[in-house]
Amino acid sequence: MKKQNRIDYGSLKSKIGSVEITTGAVLESNGSTSKTKTGAWRSLRPVVDEKKCIGCGMCWTYCPEGCITKKDAKKFEVNFDYCKGCGICANECPVKAIAMVVEEK
């Protein structure tokens, strides 16, 4: 087994205009998806009607972004930094407690 080199990330950085890039678009450390906030792509926002919510957790199970978190037994919260507004949660909700509302910016 060949001994691995340590990478000096500083030496990989360069700038073209005002944009900083790295050789081969290498990103230091893992977890780059959580650093990239994609909530701005959203045109529809899920709004939970807490009166209707039965706390089944289907929205939490189906969210493809994993951006719905369970706050307590009957309360689920959406992280709008990552929610792209796909509407899968609203579609899966068995009691139709989630409405997709147009984002107004």
Question: Shortest Cβ distance from residue 1 to other proteins (Å)?
Answer: 10
Residue 36 as a binder of other proteins (CB under 8 A): the answer is: yes
Residue 71 as a binder of other proteins (CB under 8 A): the answer is: no
Residue 102 as a binder of other proteins (CB under 8 A): the answer is: no
Residue 64 as a binder of other proteins (CB under 8 A): the answer is: no
Closest CA to 26 of 40, 12, 10, 46: 12
Work out the widest C-alpha separation in the chain, in whole angstroms. Answer: 61
Q: Which is nearer to other proteins, 11 or 64 (CB)?
A: 11
Which one of residues 10, 25, 51, 94 is an interface residue with other proteins (CB under 8 A)?
Answer: 25
Distances (CA, A) of 97 to 15, 50, 56: 48, 7, 11
In this structure, which amino acid lies at residue 73? A
85, with CB counted inside 10 A (0-12, 13-18, 19+), is buried
List residues near other proteins by CB under 8 A.
2, 4-8, 11-12, 14, 16-17, 19, 21-33, 36
